[in-house]
Amino acid sequence: MKKIFIITLIILSSVVFSQEKTYRFLYDFHQVFETKNKNQTGVSEAVKEELNKSFELEVFANKNQSFIKLIDVVRNSQTHFFLDIKPEPNWLLIDEASNLTYEKASNVNQKFKFLQDSIQRIQVQPTGEEKTVLGIRAKEYKTETEEYDYTFWLGDFNGITASPVYFQFKDLIVLELKIIFKDVLGNGNKREITYQLKDKKEATFNFKKNFPKNFTTKEELNKLNNELESISGIEKD
CA dist 125 and 148 (Å) reads 15
Residue 54 lies in a domain: yes
pTM to 2 decimals? 0.80
Nearest to 100 by CA among 112, 117, 115, 113: 117
- The string of pLDDT tens digits covering residues 123-165 is 999 999 999 999 999 999 999 999 999 999 999 999 999 999 9
CATH number at residue 170: 2.50.20
Domain total in the chain: 1
Average pLDDT over residues 2-6: 43
Nearest to 140 by CA among 162, 122, 161, 125: 125
Residue 158 lies in a domain: yes
Residue 209 lies in a domain: yes
Q: Which domain holds residue 169?
A: 22-231
- The pLDDT, as a whole number, for residue 178 is 98
Residue 5 lies in a domain: no
- The pLDDT, as a whole number, for residue 72 is 74
Nearest to 85 by CA among 50, 120, 136: 50
